[in-house]
Every structure is written in C-alpha cells, then in structure tokens.
Structure 1
Amino acid sequence: MTDKTLRNGFIAAGLMNIIPVLVLSRFFTNEVIPETDPAVMSNFGLLMIMVWGLAYIALAVNYSKAKWVVGVFVVEKLIYVIAWLMWIVNNDVSKVYKKDLFAGLFYSVYGINDLIFFLFFLFVFYRIQFKST
C-alpha cells in the first residue's frame, strides 16, 4: 500500500467515526442508541467516538512518525470490537430494529466497522515497525 492509500485510510477511519454517528444518532437526538447500551453508547460515548475520528484524521499526514499512537488506535478499535461482540452475544438486535431503524443499523454494523479499522491500524503499525528496523 502506498503512503497516500494509508493516509486516505486514516481519513476514512475518521469519517466512519463521525458521519454514521451523526446520521444514525440523528445528531444525538436518537434516544434508542444510548438506552440500548448506556455503558458504551451514551451520548457522551458517541461524542468520544467522534473525537477518536478526529484523532485519526489529525494523524493522517504524519502517521509514520507516531507508531505508538497508531498502536493506541489498534487497542482502542479492539476494545470496541470486543464490546460489540459481547453486546451481540447477549442481546437481540431485532428488538432494537423494532424500536428504531437507525439504532438497529448502528448496532448491526459498528463492530464490523471497528474490526475493519482494527485490521487497518494493525497493518499500519506493523508496517511502520518493519520500516523502522
């Protein structure tokens, strides 16, 4: 992968943390998302997801100089994947769809999105590690 492709990956990761949160939460007015998983997806939690997205975008140009920050992104994404898997195993997403389509979509896909970007950040981390040795 070229540096430009990787830079665009950081921007895509950031946008995927910002745009779907705003749309599916209806700009934080969708009450079903936070009530469904208040420990992780409160409105504050959703806002912090967007802040992580801004961090990805902020690092897009200089990611290769911040290997350990990329490593933090790997850990952060892994935590969200685990949280999502635990939620999926212990809950019925069809019940969320019955309450609200956008909330159902949110809970159906957020972990898949985080898994994709976990793998992306892991790849970037190892690529930086390999280039620096």
Structure 2
Amino acid sequence: MISLKQQHISKGFLIAGIMNIFGVLIFSRVFTNEVISEYDAIVMSNFGLLMIIVWGFAYISVAKNYKNVPWLIAVFAVEKLIYGYVWIQWLLNNNLSEVYEKDMMAGIFYTIYGINDWLFCIFFSVVFWKVYTKKLPKQ
C-alpha cells in the first residue's frame, strides 16, 4: 500500500480543498465564464460550481482531524469517483477542441478537472482504508 505520513495526508486534504476552491474561481472567472456552464448546464452550472467550492471547504475542514471521520473520507472518495466518471462521459460525448475555440479557460477546465478528481479519488480511498484499518503511520 502507498506509504503516507500523517502530515502529508493533512496536506493532501488542504491541497484537495484549494484545488476545488481556486480551480473553480480561476477557471470560471469567479462565475462569469458562461462557456463552462454552456457545455454542462447541470453539473457545471454556477450552482454546481459553487457546490464544488463547498466540497473544497469540507476537505479543508477535516485536514487536521481526518482520523476521526473515516466514513466522511469514504464519502469524499465516492464524490470524486462520481465526478471522475461524469468527466469521462463528458469527454466521450463532447468536442473538447470546440470548447477551446470558444474559451481557453473553459477548455483547460474541461481538460483537467477529471484528472484532479481521479487523483483525489485515489488519495481519499487510500486514506479511508488506512484510517478504517488503523494502519496510519507514525508522525
């Protein structure tokens, strides 16, 4: 299994939160980039983007006490799994170059958001397993 120190795990939660919060704010140009919601009016509506930010704050909120909430970490993993799956479906059913033609920031957003979600799905899954099985490393 992947070896992670507790300080690195805490930083992982912080990074996950920062990626969600600032990723949305930057690429959506603080909710003014209409191209993002044009290409996924449900998941990536302004409300959906706001909820991604809320998830980011949730990750940050447990960075120091994640060991006390193993099932919440499992929820984080499932949430990232769902977004990762939705991203793959989006890529299979949309033309990414068309998004880039309309707006570079939206194109970059749709190129990378799922990669981020899959990576943090793995991270949250590993952390959940370590916490659930009490196989956490020493400080």
C-alpha distance after superposition, 1:78-102 (max 9, x if no partner): 0000100000011110000000000
Higher relative contact order, chain-length normalized (CA < 8 Å, sep 6+)? 2
Aligned to 1:59: 62
Q: Which runs of 5+ in 1 are unaligned?
A: none
Aligned to 2:112: 109
What is the CA RMSD across the aligned residues, in angstroms? 0.8
Structure 1 residue 129 displacement after superposition: 1.4
Q: Aligned partner of 2:97: which letter?
A: S
Q: Going by fraction, where is helix more abundant, 1 or 2? A: 1
Aligned to 1:44: 47
Moved over 2 A (4+): none
Aligned to 1:30: 33
TM-score normalised over the length of structure 2: 0.93
Equivalent pairs counted in the alignment come to 132
TM-score normalised over the length of structure 1: 0.98
Aligned to 1:77, the other structure's residue is in SS state helix
Aligned to 1:69: 72
Q: Aligned partner of 1:76: which letter?
A: E
Structure 1 residue 57 displacement after superposition: 0.1
2:19 aligns with one of 12, 16, 28: 16
Residue 79 in structure 1 maps to residue 87 in structure 2: no
**Between the two proteins, what is the percent identity of the paired residues?**
54
- Whole-Å separation in 1 of the counterparts to 2:14 and 2:106: 24
Q: Which runs of 5+ in 2 are unaligned?
A: none
Structure 1 residue 121 displacement after superposition: 0.1
- Whole-Å separation in 1 of the counterparts to 2:95 and 2:36: 14
- Whole-Å separation in 1 of the counterparts to 2:21 and 2:132: 28
